Chains A and B, each alone.
Chain A
Amino acid sequence: MENTKCDCGHNNPVGTVLCEYCGKPLDESGRSDPPLEMRYEGRARRSQTRNTTLFDRVWNFFSSVKVAIWMILITLVISILGTLLPQEQSIPSNRPEIYYAQKYGVWGDLFYRFGLSNLYESPVYIALLAAIGISLVVCSLDRVVPLYHALKNQKVTKSPVFITRQRVTRTEPVSVGEKEALLDRLAENLSAKQYRIRREGDSILAEKGRFSRWGPYINHIGLILFLFGVLMRHLIPGWYLDESVFVREGETEKLPGLNYYVKNEKASMELYDPGEMPPSSENRQPVVKKYETRAVLYEKDRETGTLKEVTRGSIRVNHPLEHEDLQLFQADFNTETRAILLNVKDKKKDRVVDTIRVDLFDPKPEYKLNGGVKVNILNYFPDFVMEGNRPATKSENPNRPAFIFSVDAPGLKQPEKSWLISGANLDDINRENRYEMELKKLETVNVSGLMVRIDKSLPVIFLGGIISMIGLVMGFFWHHRRVWVRWKEGNLYIGAHTNKNWFGLRRELEQAAEKAELPLSFSLEKR
């Protein structure tokens, strides 16, 4: 490809395929008749013209669509692997190193070891996305610039070789006398089909929908913006927050990492009435209709330390509470036992002396009752287990509260020890006692699990999405069509090119030609 001077006299840059001036193919070593390669108008791209510095090499690597396709396919395959087993964030355990091996055996273990259990946040995956991003930038720049120049500087008069080697082309003998009127009629009828017409001597260039050529690039810009927004969340401190907080009804909790507090005024759950359920689901479990938390958001004054209300409202699934960038989502709901009410019963007199209320989160050491009866809590195990033969607690959550009380009353020689373990019958142990602790009632409280989020990238991410969509629609629902007509030495040459939807182009040409009293068939079947 040494000689880049065209027969028409125009000097083209190295790497050019079709003469920039007349469109004639330059490299005719493999002289044959297949349609011309029209991509980027046969223009030279940067990646084809420079290959010396390191920068050039990197540029060329990322500008290759082949490389891009490989990156897309690798991302695709790796993504599939990650869906074979659940990801870490959705397993019911926070010990993944044990969980996968236990639940799924050898494969589970391998899954964990290869890092597939947290694939989508892994450096490899993020690097792949970043590489696609770089590739998008480089590739688009590499092509859009020459494409823009080529389309802007199009010449109307093209070499007959160029025209007859288009995918859609016809040549008809037309005499000198007829040609002027025929060219006029063709121009007029193509114009009626919304083509923009340029004329130059015996040549016509009709073009429409050029803007759709920018669709893919606009789409790529949107994708880049999107990826950029995603990356920013990890790079800029305070840009992104993803935490959760559990708040009991009536309580106020600090939001992790923020100077805000949230109060849960009321948390509730509503079920569907049986009447709202389809008949066949009678014997199924009830279905939840609504989870709701009535919340108040406070900001802590840094100087005085007091809480100042900033907003309040109800949080439901799909309806978060928002304050500036902060959003609180309803994510979890459960009911906890908060307190127990105990009847202290005198077995000898067979009557209840008094009732005490023990707060499971904050039990008092001593309770004074009617008739001088006194109850002390000797020991409290919120989450009772036997470890060997010693009682112990698994956690601070009152999942299975157990107590050792000591009861003292005027008539007793010495205080009695009384055991109470929720869910266990301890009559045997406590048989000797005169005073019995009898469970009267459990007091429950609803707990809301709220997700606490800040995501300042969202506008960028969604803007990226919108731009990307605009690009897609431009590129796919419109088409760039061009028709070249030239009369030369007794022949009329017609050639046409589109970037997609050839069928429509053929039909349009046929209709325009017929109206111009030049009945030509452009359809495939009758070629």
Chain B
Amino acid sequence: MIKVMEYSLLATFFFYLLSTVAFVMAVTGKGSRAGKEVHTRLWGRRGIALAIGGVALHVLFIVSRVLVGGHFTSNLFEFTAFLCFAIVSSFIILYLIYRTITLGAFVMPLGVIMLAYASVFPRDVEPLIPALQSYWLHIHVTTVALGEGALAVGFVAGLIYLIRWVGENPHSATATWLEVILAIILMVVGFVLSSFIFGAMDYQAAFQHNFEGRMVVQEYRMPAFVGPHEGVTLQADSFLGWKEPLMEAPSWMKGEEAAKKLNSVIWSVLSGLLLYGLLRGILRKRVYEILHPLVKSLHLETVDEISYRAIAIGYPIFTLGGLIFAMIWAHEAWGRFWGWDPKETWALITWLFYSAYLHLRLSRGWHGLKSSWMAVGGFVVILINLIAINLVIAGLHSYA
């Protein structure tokens, strides 16, 4: 069963990857003898078939994980992998409604990145601490993830809208901001890629330093740009001859894992900028200009509606999972349905943000451009909750 679990995860990853390729082929291909239309339809069909196959394998993975470990959403690996599942499933549903192949060319890469990001976390099946031993854990976490999956598709469609819009208005402020957002996305990609690569190389380094009067060890999985403040290298693999940290973290970064986190941030920024530089250097275009040909056949109004529709599907599900089920579970576990720990508070913030989005759209007529920016902003809020709150401020939700 463990074998089934491992292979199904690997297969899921490749299906998503191939689906990405197929969708990109569909929207970029010039079309050979058969002509553009036929080409697009053919590759679009392959793309969606691969995505559906991937989702089926993903279900197999989840089922086998449950059989092996009894649960599937209790740590960051499991949660992120499930979020990836939710994103791809939401995409498939929206595809069945709108049949927009272009959406696939943007969502499927997000699915690939999510799955790769998930596998950066420890993948062992861990036993549940008492607070997590409740069926509400599953109900709550899965609904949250499903809601967030749909909201993520709303984000992607918002991004497509922006790319499409900016293609016609290249000298606007929106163009500049969009480019910044795309560069940040590349940083996330860079982080995932570098974690993935060094993970595959099994890179390890360990530094000891003083933390609140105790000696603690920070284990790095990537070569160290920064080491802990006044740290001592215990052991470090060599990466192209590079072993020792290039510098020390500033002394005010006191947290137990602060230096390691700073190092991850530096890796993300640098690798992102490297990717960005490569793209611009090779193609001699801004990133949105590279992406624009993929989306230029879309009608703006349709893209706007897809983004809105995805959010309109995700919002009630998120409300149910992130607020109502969360309250029921918190009530069962702690006797208070709301505890204002950072994770919960950020769920509320996410919800207020999307409420503002809906009201602005409905009564202030924020359609199109403004609405798309808000769809992007909403996903940023979700990511803050997913990444920043876990890594920086650990609350009661020690797991996800």
Other-chain contact of B335, A72, A277, A327 (Cβ < 8 Å):
A327
Tell me the chain A residues, 68-93 only, with Cβ under 8 Å from chain B: 68-69, 72-73, 75-76, 79-80, 82-83, 86-87, 89-90
A79-B348, A287-B127 as given contacts; A524 in contact with B301, CB under 8 Å: yes
Chain A's closest residue to B301 (CB) is A524
Is B95 at the interface (CB under 8 A from chain A)?
no
The 4 A-B residue pairs with the shortest CB-CB distance, nearest first, are A278-B124, A317-B130, A472-B316, A329-B335
Chain A's closest residue to B130 (CB) is A317
Is B45 at the interface (CB under 8 A from chain A)?
no
**List of A residues within 8 angstroms of B320 by Cβ:** 469
Are B130 and A289 in contact (CB-based, < 8 A)? yes
Assembly CA distance A19 to B274 (angstroms): 61
A65-B359, A69-B356, A458-B331 as given contacts; A272 in contact with B340, CB under 8 Å: no
Chain B's closest residue to A501 (CB) is B309
Other-chain contact of A79, B312, B339, B345 (Cβ < 8 Å):
B345
Other-chain contact of B324, A76, A317, A465 (Cβ < 8 Å):
A465
Other-chain contact of A76, B97, B299, B308, B356 (Cβ < 8 Å):
B356
Are B124 and A83 in contact (CB-based, < 8 A)? no
Assembly CA distance A468 to B316 (angstroms): 10
Interface string of B341-378 (1 = CB under 8 A from A): 11001101100110110011011100000000000000
Chain A's closest residue to B393 (CB) is A83
Other-chain contact of A242, B301, B336, B362 (Cβ < 8 Å):
B336
Q: How far is the CB of A82 from chain B (nearest CB, A)?
A: 7
**List of B residues within 8 angstroms of A281 by Cβ:** 124, 126
Is B238 at the interface (CB under 8 A from chain A)?
no
Chain A's closest residue to B124 (CB) is A278
Tell me the chain A residues, 456-503 only, with Cβ under 8 Å from chain B: 458, 461-462, 465-466, 468-469, 472-473, 476-477, 500-503
Could you tell me the dominant secondary structure of chain A's interface residues? Answer: helix
A65-B363, A465-B327 as given contacts; A76 in contact with B353, CB under 8 Å: yes
A39-B363, A69-B364 as given contacts; A291 in contact with B130, CB under 8 Å: yes
Assembly CA distance A66 to B129 (angstroms): 45
Are B333 and A280 in contact (CB-based, < 8 A)? no
Could you pull out 11 A-B pairs where Cβ atoms are within 8 angstroms?
Answer: A65-B364, A66-B363, A69-B359, A72-B352, A79-B345, A83-B342, A317-B130, A465-B323, A466-B324, A503-B97, A504-B97
Is B235 at the interface (CB under 8 A from chain A)?
no
Is A414 at the interface (CB under 8 A from chain B)?
no
Residues of chain B at the chain A interface (Cβ within 8 Å): 97-98, 122, 124-127, 129-131, 133-134, 136, 299, 301-302, 305, 308-309, 312-313, 315-316, 319-320, 323-324, 327-328, 331-337, 339-342, 345-346, 348-349, 352-353, 355-356, 359-360, 362-364, 389, 393, 395
Are A68 and B359 in contact (CB-based, < 8 A)? yes
**List of B residues within 8 angstroms of A272 by Cβ:** 127
Chain B's closest residue to A468 (CB) is B319
A90-B341, A503-B305 as given contacts; A316 in contact with B335, CB under 8 Å: no
Other-chain contact of A451, B301, B334, B340, B355 (Cβ < 8 Å):
B334
Are B299 and A277 in contact (CB-based, < 8 A)? no
Is A290 at the interface (CB under 8 A from chain B)?
yes
**List of A residues within 8 angstroms of B124 by Cβ:** 278-281
The interface size of chain A toward B, counting residues with CB under 8 Å, comes to 62
Assembly CA distance A485 to B359 (angstroms): 31
Q: How far is the CB of A49 from chain B (nearest CB, A)?
A: 18
Q: How far is the CB of A119 from chain B (nearest CB, A)?
A: 8
Q: How far is the CB of A497 from chain B (nearest CB, A)?
A: 14
Q: A72-B356, A458-B337 are in contact. List 6 more A-B contacts (CB 8 A).
A: A65-B359, A83-B345, A119-B340, A317-B131, A327-B335, A469-B324
Q: How far is the CB of B130 from chain A (nearest CB, A)?
A: 4
Are A476 and B315 in contact (CB-based, < 8 A)? yes
Are B335 and A120 in contact (CB-based, < 8 A)? no
Q: How far is the CB of A115 from chain B (nearest CB, A)?
A: 14
Assembly CA distance A500 to B308 (angstroms): 9
Chain A's closest residue to B252 (CB) is A105
**List of B residues within 8 angstroms of A279 by Cβ:** 124
Other-chain contact of B122, A68, A280, A462 (Cβ < 8 Å):
A280
**List of B residues within 8 angstroms of A468 by Cβ:** 319
Interface string of A269-310 (1 = CB under 8 A from B): 000100011111100000111110000000000000000000
Are B316 and A502 in contact (CB-based, < 8 A)? no
Q: How far is the CB of B264 from chain A (nearest CB, A)?
A: 21
**List of A residues within 8 angstroms of B305 by Cβ:** 501-503
How many A-B residue pairs have C-beta atoms within 8 angstroms? Tell me: 136
Is A320 at the interface (CB under 8 A from chain B)?
yes
**List of B residues within 8 angstroms of A525 by Cβ:** 299
Assembly CA distance A525 to B302 (angstroms): 9
Is A389 at the interface (CB under 8 A from chain B)?
no
A90-B341, A524-B302 as given contacts; A318 in contact with B356, CB under 8 Å: no
Are B334 and A331 in contact (CB-based, < 8 A)? yes
Assembly CA distance A83 to B395 (angstroms): 10
Is A170 at the interface (CB under 8 A from chain B)?
no
Chain B's closest residue to A464 (CB) is B324
Are B332 and A288 in contact (CB-based, < 8 A)? no
Is A374 at the interface (CB under 8 A from chain B)?
no
Is A453 at the interface (CB under 8 A from chain B)?
yes
**List of A residues within 8 angstroms of B393 by Cβ:** 83, 86
**List of A residues within 8 angstroms of B362 by Cβ:** 65
**List of A residues within 8 angstroms of B332 by Cβ:** 318-320
Are A79 and B349 in contact (CB-based, < 8 A)? yes
Are B348 and A318 in contact (CB-based, < 8 A)? no
Chain A's closest residue to B316 (CB) is A472
Are A288 and B129 in contact (CB-based, < 8 A)? yes
**List of A residues within 8 angstroms of B341 by Cβ:** 87, 90
**List of A residues within 8 angstroms of B130 by Cβ:** 288-291, 316-318, 330
Are B315 and A120 in contact (CB-based, < 8 A)? no
Are B345 and A82 in contact (CB-based, < 8 A)? yes
Assembly CA distance A329 to B334 (angstroms): 7
**List of B residues within 8 angstroms of A75 by Cβ:** 352
Assembly CA distance A465 to B328 (angstroms): 10
Assembly CA distance A208 to B328 (angstroms): 35
Other-chain contact of A83, B98, B125, B316, B346 (Cβ < 8 Å):
B346
Chain A's closest residue to B131 (CB) is A317
Are A476 and B359 in contact (CB-based, < 8 A)? no
Other-chain contact of B364, A66, A119, A327 (Cβ < 8 Å):
A66
**List of A residues within 8 angstroms of B335 by Cβ:** 320, 327, 329, 331, 451, 453
Assembly CA distance A442 to B313 (angstroms): 61
Assembly CA distance A459 to B68 (angstroms): 38
Task: Among B130, B352, B359, find the residue whose CB has the most chain A CB atoms closer than 10 A.
Answer: B130
Assembly CA distance A333 to B41 (angstroms): 62
Are A278 and B364 in contact (CB-based, < 8 A)? no
Q: How far is the CB of B350 from chain A (nearest CB, A)?
A: 9
Other-chain contact of B313, A72, A461, A476, A524 (Cβ < 8 Å):
A476
**List of B residues within 8 angstroms of A291 by Cβ:** 130
Are B363 and A462 in contact (CB-based, < 8 A)? no
Chain A's closest residue to B122 (CB) is A280
Assembly CA distance A194 to B324 (angstroms): 33
